[in-house]
Amino acid sequence: MRAAAGHGASFLALPLLLLLVVSAEARSAAAAGRRKGEGTRYSVMAFHAAGDGKTDDSKAFEETWDSACRDSGGATVYVPEGRTFLLGETKLQGPCKSPITMQVDGDIVAPSSIWGLKSLTSLLAFYRVDNLTVDGSGQIDGRGAPWWDCYNKKKCHYRPQLVSFSFCNGLRVTNIRLKDSADKHMSVFECSQVQVHNVTVVAPRDSPNTDGITMGASDHVRISSCNIHSGDDCVSILTGTTDVNVTDVMCGPGHGISVGSLGGAGEKQTMVERITVSNCNFFNTMTGVRIKSWQ
């Protein structure tokens, strides 16, 4: 009987031990936001973001990004739905150790008043991040009205862009909504292999320089199925850009789809090659498709 009891105790202890181990792993995975087959999901809430639309969450976003960027197994920075995150200038830099996704399901807002700038910057600035995906059902709102007024009164030399990508190869931007940028909504500079799909841009037709998507010195860019309503170009293609395909874009109000302006700022030589625009609709626009030059 004693041996049987001992055997029974061992039999009961094993499932208990397994249960404790599994529970500990589950708690650890939940804390990090791990999903099977998706790498690790890093929620900004786990890095002390408030998500109340009042507290500056810039530092929490940058710390979340830094942790995800160091993950060699693929990672997602998660901005949860149902919350609003106030950001100032937020820099998300690479290179990262593996492909990385920023999943924006909540809303991101800029400060409601003018915030100090000493140079051109962005609310969200991605720099040297390869194999980056930005996706989600959320909205990024630049609250640009005070800046437009300041610009029209010739008091603001610099205005922040909403989202910028610099030196990012293998970039995908899908499904997000961009609203009321102080300046350009999305800037793509020195990037290669770029896909922008099903992105919505909304700003008043009289908002100055609020281009939807601006690109320069980039190649192999595809923009598809986007809705862009702005106070300037829906898509602007600047010097040094090649192999661009713009298709199924709803453009207007705005200035249309533009190549240029080219030859400005003392440029002695400029180049844009292999640009295709197809199946796009224009309404209440200044032009359809045009080439702009200073010369």
pLDDT score, position 28: 38
pLDDT score, position 3: 41
Can you read off the two tokens belonging to residue 114?
């003018």
Residue 120, CA atoms < 13 Å, CB-side half-sphere: 6
pLDDT score, position 247: 98
Rounded to whole angstroms, how far apart are CA atoms 179 and 181?
Answer: 6
% of residues, the chain, pLDDT over 90: 75
The model's confidence at residue 12, banded by pLDDT at 50, 70 and 90, is very low
User: Which candidate, 182, 211, 180, places its Cα nearest to that of 286?
Assistant: 211
The model's confidence at residue 68, banded by pLDDT at 50, 70 and 90, is very high
Answer for the pair 62, 87: CB distance below 8 angstroms, yes or no.
no
State the average pLDDT for the chain.
87
pLDDT for 295 beyond 80: no
Q: Is 255 a catalytic residue?
A: yes
Question: ∠ CA 63-106-141 to the nearest 5 degrees?
Answer: 95
Tens digits of residue pLDDT in 156-181 = 888 999 999 999 999 999 999 999 99
Catalytic option among 185, 220, 229, 255: 255
pLDDT score, position 26: 33
pLDDT for 96 beyond 50: yes
Question: At which residue do the structure tokens 């529970």 appear?
Answer: 23
Pick the CATH number of 110-293 from 2.160.20.10, 3.90.1150.10, 2.30.40.10, 2.40.280.10: 2.160.20.10
pLDDT for 259 beyond 50: yes
pLDDT score, position 263: 65
pLDDT score, position 32: 47
pLDDT for 92 beyond 90: yes
Question: At which residue do the structure tokens 């240029």 appear?
Answer: 260
pLDDT score, position 41: 97
Tens digits of residue pLDDT in 38-64 = 579 999 999 999 999 999 999 999 999
Rounded to whole angstroms, how far apart are CA atoms 181 and 123?
Answer: 9
Please give the residue that has the higher pLDDT: either 55 or 23.
55
Rounded to whole angstroms, how far apart are CA atoms 187 and 164?
Answer: 5
pLDDT for 5 beyond 70: no
Question: What would the mean pLDDT of 247-264 be, rounded to a whole number?
Answer: 88
pLDDT for 189 beyond 50: yes
The structure's pTM equals: 0.86
Its sign, for the CA torsion 161, 212, 142, 62, is: negative
Ranked by mean pLDDT, the top range of 105-119, 208-222, 269-283 is 208-222
Ranked by mean pLDDT, the top range of 9-18, 69-78, 261-270 is 69-78
